[in-house]
Amino acid sequence: MDLQLRDKVAVVTGGSVGIGLAVARGLAAEGVHLVLAARDADRLLAVTDQIKTDFGVRVTSVAADVSTVEGVDRIAGAVDGGVDILINNAGTGSEETILEAPDARWQAYWDLHVMAAVRLARALAPGMRSRGGGVILHNASICATQPLGYEPIYNVTKAALVMFSKCLANELIGDNIRVNAVNPGLVRTPDWEKTARQLTAGTGQTVEDYLQKIADDNAPIGRFADPAEIADLFVYLSSPRASYIVGSTTYIDGGWLNVTT
């Protein structure tokens, strides 16, 4: 299937690792030119060079913290001539209790998961409008609907991101800019592997056994997704083939979502 994406331009935040990197590679495989943003400049440059070598597309790397106004401005300044696709992917899990987490921790996650998307929409949507339309996708989480007890701030801010996505979709569809959200479940990312190593250290349990237990307990499919499986959905939703999907939230969770919740 021709996804009709060749020579489009996409911004991908959190684009140097995990789902963001997989999305970047998936888009590049379709001939999309990229602006990749991430905080780790060295890792970002390495993946930028690799994508250029593998796919022959233009890739601009922007070392930036999207949770800050300055970081968003840096990304917007690196866009030459506007973009067709914005993938708001940057984010991370949390671990706290509501009664003990200080205001600063709430604000940090709000800025990363919500305000980054707000600011990037303000910065890039006008250029999409001038190009005749575009696509904005938000990487949220199943936790936006089905919260995990140990990360209330993550749950709340991802739920807010989903609602923002719907509101933005309604505002921009008249400009032919389609906005949607994606709610992944368990995805085998470096963050999950780091957590597994920390929690199994000195216990005799292997990382693989720990992750398999998480999958067995939560996902009927019985495994974590590979980031490339999540990326395939993002790439499709970025394409004109998904032209009637507007203001939606799509779950890709191996059956984890409990519809009774």
pLDDT in tens, 215-246: 999 999 999 999 999 999 999 999 999 999 99
Q: Which class is 9-187+227-252 in CATH?
A: alpha beta
List the structure tokens of 225: 């997704």
Give every CB contact of residue 17 below 8 A, 6+ residues apart in sequence.
Answer: 38, 40, 43, 47, 189, 190
Side-chain-side CA neighbours of residue 16 (13 Å): 19
Please give the average per-residue pLDDT across 93-109, as a whole number: 96
What's the DSSP call for residue 69? Answer: H
- Find where tokens 């949607």 sit: 180
The number of residues in the chain equals: 261
**DSSP at 247:** S
Q: Is the pLDDT of residue 48 over 70?
A: yes
226 Cβ neighbours under 8 A, 6+ residues apart: 22, 187, 188
- For 114, 137, 172, 219, 241, the CA distances from 247, given in Å and listed in that order, are 16, 10, 10, 26, 16
Residues 98-121: what's their mean pLDDT? Answer: 98
At residue 83, the pLDDT reads 98
pTM: 0.96
Across the range 52-77, mean pLDDT stands at 98
Q: What is the pLDDT of residue 260?
A: 64
Q: In the chain, which segments carry CATH 3.40.50.720?
A: 9-187+227-252
Which positions are catalytic?
Answer: 154
Beta carbons within 10 angstroms of residue 63's beta carbon? 17
Q: Is the pLDDT of residue 261 over 60?
A: no
pLDDT reported for residue 115 = 98
Tell me, what's the pLDDT at 176?
98
Mean pLDDT of the chain: 97
Cα-atom radius of gyration of the chain, to the nearest Å? 18
User: Quick one: how far is CA 176 from the chain centroid?
Assistant: 22
pLDDT value for 259: 77
Q: Which two tokens stand for residue 71?
A: 């970081």
Q: Which tokens sit at 75?
A: 């990304």
* The pLDDT value given to residue 199: 86
* Closest by Cα among 18, 63, 12 to 33: 12
Strands (DSSP E) found in the chain:
9-13, 33-38, 59-63, 85-88, 134-139, 177-184, 249-252
Residues of the chain with pLDDT > 90, as a percent, come to 95
Percent of the residues in the chain that have a pLDDT greater than 70, as a whole number: 99
Whether residue 19 contacts residue 89, with contact meaning beta carbons closer than 8 Å, is answered with yes
